[in-house]
Chain A
Amino acid sequence: MGFNKAAREAFVQGVAPVQLEARISKGERAYKHQFSNPFNSGFRIKAYAGQQLSRNDTISIGAVVLANETLVRRLVVLGFDTLEVHSDVGSHGCRWQLHDYIMIGQGG
């Protein structure tokens, strides 16, 4: 099951109070690595909360993604270099450099 389908089901079942949606974004040029997609290298999670997410909520969503090393490694080899989390309202969000959270191509 993909991220968006899992997020939709979690929202419908009441597990998640807001619906999350993952999409591709331009990414941050300064975060480029050897696998980076040349054009769209951002993995953006948008929360349909109807209001501005608190900074703690935003960081919490990002931290869960970053704590899953398998997911981060997969995102990196798929060409993503930036993780972005923001809500559907407001213009604030958080951004992380994915390469900081893996140990890829090292030690063999």
Chain B
Amino acid sequence: MNNDTIQMAADSLRQASQHSNSLNWWMIIAIVELVIIAALLFSKGKVDDRKRSIKRQVREEGDINFGNIIASSFGADALYKELIRKCHPDRFAPDEKKVAIANDISEQLGKYKHDLKKLNELKEEAITKLNISI
């Protein structure tokens, strides 16, 4: 009877020790997974920081003039076509000074083709410096 009890205790201890061994393996796998997840989260945090800094940088670029955008959608094209035709450097051929001004205005017209506000400024400049009527 006494021997049986000792045997049973020994068996249960052996089983418990085997069980704890297998639990350790699972624990090691879980720790490895945890390290991988932490590394992924850390790298994602770095990407988010970069995104956040770009967002901040873009927000600081200033206000957007939506009124000009709407007006440009319908008025810039016609004004551009008229200006590019009337400010063509060939129209001022013998006068080198005016040709240079016309060249400069034509270059800027190409740059600000879709910006009505800038086109109006260029129009004023053309009227003043090139003596043309638009």
Q: A residues engaging B (CB < 8 A)?
A: 1-3, 5-7, 9-10, 15-18, 20, 34-35, 60-61, 63-65, 67-68, 70-71, 73-74, 76-77, 104-105
Contacts and interface: CB of A to CB of B under 8 A. Distances in A.
A34 B51 contact: yes
A56 B10 CA distance: 90
Given A15-B71, A20-B73, 15 more contacts: A2-B66, A3-B66, A7-B66, A7-B70, A10-B71, A15-B67, A15-B70, A64-B73, A67-B115, A68-B64, A68-B115, A70-B62, A71-B64, A71-B69, A74-B61
Given A60-B77, A105-B54, A6 B70 contact: yes
Interface residues on B, range: 20 to 34
Interface of B is mostly: helix
Contacts, number: 73
Given A15-B75, A34-B51, A77-B55, A67 B67 contact: no
A65 to B, nearest CB: 7
12 contacts: A3-B66, A6-B66, A6-B67, A16-B74, A18-B74, A60-B77, A61-B73, A64-B72, A65-B69, A67-B115, A68-B64, A68-B115
